[in-house]
Amino acid sequence: MRRYEGRRVFVTGAGSGIGQGIALRLLDEGAQLVAADIDQPGLEITAAKAGDAADRLRTVQVNIADPDSVRTATSEALEFLGGLDVLVNAAGILRPGRTHEMPLEIWNQTITVNLTGTFLMTQSALPALLESGHGVVVNLSSTAAYQAAPYLAAYAASKGGVAAFTHSIALEYAKQGLRAVNIVPAGITSGITTKSILDQPEGFDPSLFARLTGWLNGGALGTPDDIAGVVAMVASDDGRYMTGTEIRIDGGALM
């Protein structure tokens, strides 16, 4: 399928994991795309994986928690793309820890990157998305926003905020043709999931993690490709009647 021929796309978190998977899938479907991440080596890997599509790809380093960095990256993206049809906010961090021991700076960092960063990227891109007349914002929330997520209070709160933010902008700009959708993954094979597993606090209770993965495939983690295929549908004309809603990709974790 080539649903993205002539479509201009901006993806954050594209240096690894889910963001990289989304960027490569949309490139494969014909997009002209800017891949952004704070991780420059990761972006170089994404560019190398793009293969023959590299001429339609530009990489931009960005710290989504820094307004100046966001403005600069957005300006570079729009210069390359000549406008914008789709923004995918896939960048994020995860810092596990017991809530009563969590330093305020870790709480603030998680909220700032995951929630405020999503806001800053969206705010910066909105004029161009609205100008296109059919702009789409795809945000990455998490099942942690909808079920208990032990040792992940800051992450869960940030992703719950992302979900609420997405609903707000979906209604606010619907009459201007903008669509906004939350993608809600459960456990996915990516660096952020590995970090969650490895960085649990000493003496954590594994029995609290009753359903972090779904029932499919023996409870195995999903892959970035599982997310990328759904994003490709949602942000294309196949998803043209979808806005202000969630799509869970969790193998049945929240059944």
Q: How is 128-144 classified by DSSP, letter by letter?
A: HHHHHSS-EEEEE--GG
Catalytic site residue from 4, 146, 151, 155: 155
User: Are 10 and 34 in contact, with CB atoms under 8 Å apart?
Assistant: yes
Residue 245: what are its φ and ψ, rounded to 5°? -145, 175
Q: How far apart are CA 196 and CA 18, in angstroms?
A: 15
What pLDDT, on the 0 to 100 scale, is given for residue 210? Answer: 60
Among this protein's residues, is 155 annotated catalytic?
A: yes
pLDDT of residue 227: 96
Structure tokens at 112: 């700032």
Side chain identity, residue 128: A
Q: What is the pLDDT of residue 197?
A: 58
Q: DSSP assignment, residue 196?
A: H
CB 140 within 8 A of CB 185: yes
Q: Nearest CA to 228 among 5, 13, 20?
A: 20
pLDDT, residue 80, reads 98
Give start and end residues of each alpha helix (H) in the chain: 17-28, 40-50, 67-81, 104-111, 117-132, 153-172, 191-198, 224-234
Strands 245-249 and 86-89: unpaired
Q: Which CATH number fits domain 8-249: 3.40.50.720, 3.30.70.260, 3.10.350.10, 1.10.10.10?
A: 3.40.50.720
Dihedral sign of CA atoms 109, 235, 251, 216 in order: negative
Structural tokens at position 186 = 């459960």
| Residue 241: both structure tokens together | 């009647």
Sheet containing strand 245-249, edge to edge, reads: 57-61, 32-37, 8-12, 86-89, 136-140, 179-185, 245-249
So what's the pLDDT on residue 135? 98
Instruction: State the Cα–Cα distance between residues 147 and 102, nearest whole angstrom.
Output: 20
> Which pLDDT does position 192 carry in this prediction?
64
Tokens of 180: 């906004």
What pLDDT score does 182 carry?
98
What span, in angstroms and rounded, lies between the C-alpha atoms of 211 and 197? 14
Backbone angles phi, psi at 250, to 5 degrees: -135, 10
Q: What is the pLDDT along the chain (255 residues), one digit of tens a residue?
A: 799 999 999 999 999 999 999 999 999 999 999 999 999 999 999 999 999 999 999 999 999 999 999 999 999 999 999 999 999 999 999 999 999 999 999 999 999 999 999 999 999 999 999 999 999 999 999 999 998 888 999 999 999 999 999 999 999 999 999 999 999 998 888 766 555 556 778 887 776 766 667 778 777 888 999 999 999 999 999 999 999 999 999 988 887
CA–CA distance, 23 with 14 (Å, rounded to integer) = 6
Q: Which pLDDT does position 165 carry in this prediction?
A: 98
- Residue 212 has a pLDDT of 65
**Domain chopping of the chain, boundaries:** 8-249
For the chain, percent helix, then strand, then coil, each to nearest 5?
50, 15, 35
Dihedral of alpha carbons 244, 249, 254, 255, sign: positive
